[in-house]
Amino acid sequence: MWLTFEHVTKLYGPVIGVNDISCRIGPGITGLFGANGAGKSTLMKLASGQLRPTQGIVRIGEEQAWSSRAKRNLGFSPDVNSFYEEMTGREFVLAMTRLYGYSMQEARRRTEQALEDVAMTDRAHRHLGGCSHGMRQRIKLAQALANDPQVLLLDEPMTGIDPGGRRDLSELLVRQAEGGRTVLVSSHILSEVEQLTDSIIMIARGRIIASGTIAEIRRLLENQPYTVQLVTRGNSRALASKLVEMPEVESVEVRFETLTVRTRHPQQFFGVVGSLVVEKGIEIERLETLDAGADAVFGYLERE
């Protein structure tokens, strides 16, 4: 089931939350990236029907997102960490599930399945006021899964979860996507979701600045400097002197045996460096790119 934004703008008085957003998000996992205040939570609230757009339309399938018909196909885990603290995790998920109109028997069945999915079955008897942040995140996810949604919205779901929990969550989301569901995961830390999905939407100042895969977006930046770090086993200055003569190289910084090189033509650069290293007999201990990942790409795009 598709989540669709058509020329969506949301105003908070004179403040623009999101500005003329248009995109279609289909089955699989899509990452929504942006700094705090970029408009991610506004986009999530519009998608979940908590907010109505000032202009434009948001749809889940063929239904407008704020309609009750759309919400039956939706699961939402917000970024806020507020609960009825006196309830147990199981009681909370059951209460949220009952709001969908299920019978008590069916709601209990769905609650137990959702708790099992997030590995909270044996801890759901605890009162929420005494649960760790990671456990509370799992409970939020459980209530989002209980109605078996076709569209799953997760606003900053990784926050406060330990590495083991992040692995479990990633595996769960992959299973949801493999089942044909549309999963939208937001984060202000790009590396959190970069390993989970290649499909991303980058947002800044209320606008989408890029969408696609990291590789596709990187190709948009072929004219941007590309930073490469080389660590040699001796001969660093000899290698640096050769590199600065290359037309592909903008600058070379030498610090002991580490060279930091900026180039606008990485493919040509890597080819020439390989030949140069073999020709001169220079040993390279490590070669890595410093700005091929999502964080650097986002930084470049945000400055555009």
In this predicted model, what pLDDT tens digit does every residue of 45-99 receive, in sequence order?
999 999 999 999 999 999 999 999 999 999 999 988 888 999 999 999 999 999 9
Q: What is the mean pLDDT of residues 234-238?
A: 79
Contacts made by residues 208-211, CB under 8 angstroms, sequence distance 24+: 208/21, 208/22, 208/23, 209/301, 209/302, 209/304, 210/297, 210/301, 211/23
Query: Does the pLDDT value for residue 300 go beyond 70?
Result: no
Q: pLDDT tens across 133-151, in order?
A: 889 999 999 999 999 999 9
Q: What is the mean pLDDT of residues 194-201?
A: 81
Query: Does the pLDDT value for residue 302 go beyond 80?
Result: no
For residues 303 and 62, the model is more confident at 62
Query: Does the pLDDT value for residue 248 go beyond 70?
Result: yes
Query: Does the pLDDT value for residue 223 go beyond 60?
Result: no
State residue 268's pLDDT score. Answer: 76
Rounded percentage of the chain residues whose pLDDT exceeds 70: 91
User: Taking all residues of the chain, what is their mean pLDDT, rounded to a whole number?
Assistant: 87
Distances (CA, A) of 18 to 1, 12, 233: 23, 10, 51
The model's confidence at residue 303, banded by pLDDT at 50, 70 and 90, is: low
- In 13-98, DSSP assigns E strands to 15-25, 28-33, 55-60, 63-64, 74-77
Q: What is the mean pLDDT of residues 21-30?
A: 95
Q: What is the mean pLDDT of residues 172-187?
A: 92
110: how many CB neighbours lie within 10 A of its CB? 21
For residue 258, the cross-strand partners are: 231, 255
The model's confidence at residue 181, banded by pLDDT at 50, 70 and 90, is: very high
Per DSSP, the residues of 149-206 read: -SEEEEESTTTT--HHHHHHHHHHHHHHHHTT-EEEEEESSHHHHHTT-S-EEEEETT
State residue 225's pLDDT score. Answer: 66
Nearest to 265 by CA among 239, 302, 228: 228
Query: Does the pLDDT value for residue 246 go beyond 80?
Result: yes
State residue 214's pLDDT score. Answer: 72
Nearest to 269 by CA among 236, 303, 239, 238: 239
Per DSSP, the residues of 107-138 read: HHHHHHHHHHHTT-TTTTTSBGGGS-HHHHHH
162: how many CB neighbours lie within 10 A of its CB? 11
Provide the token pair at 132: 């760790």
CA within 13 Å, CB half, 9:
9
CA within 13 Å, CB half, 170:
15
What one-letter code names the amino acid at 166? R
Query: Does the pLDDT value for residue 211 go beyond 70?
Result: yes
State residue 221's pLDDT score. Answer: 60
Rounded to an integer, what distance in angstroms lies between the CA atom of residue 251 and that of residue 145? 51
Instruction: List the strands of the sheet with 15-25, edge to edge.
Output: 15-25, 3-12, 55-60, 63-64
Q: What is the mean pLDDT of residues 235-256?
A: 85
Per DSSP, the residues of 80-101 read: -----TTSBHHHHHHHHHHTTT
Q: Which CATH number fits domain 226-303: 3.30.70.100, 1.10.3720.10, 2.40.30.20, 3.40.50.150?
A: 3.30.70.100
Give me the CATH code for the 3-219 domain, please: 3.40.50.300
Domain residue ranges in the chain: 3-219, 226-303
DSSP, collapsed to helix, strand or coil, labels residue 45 as helix
Q: Can you give the pTM of this predicted structure?
A: 0.75
For residues 278 and 47, the model is more confident at 47
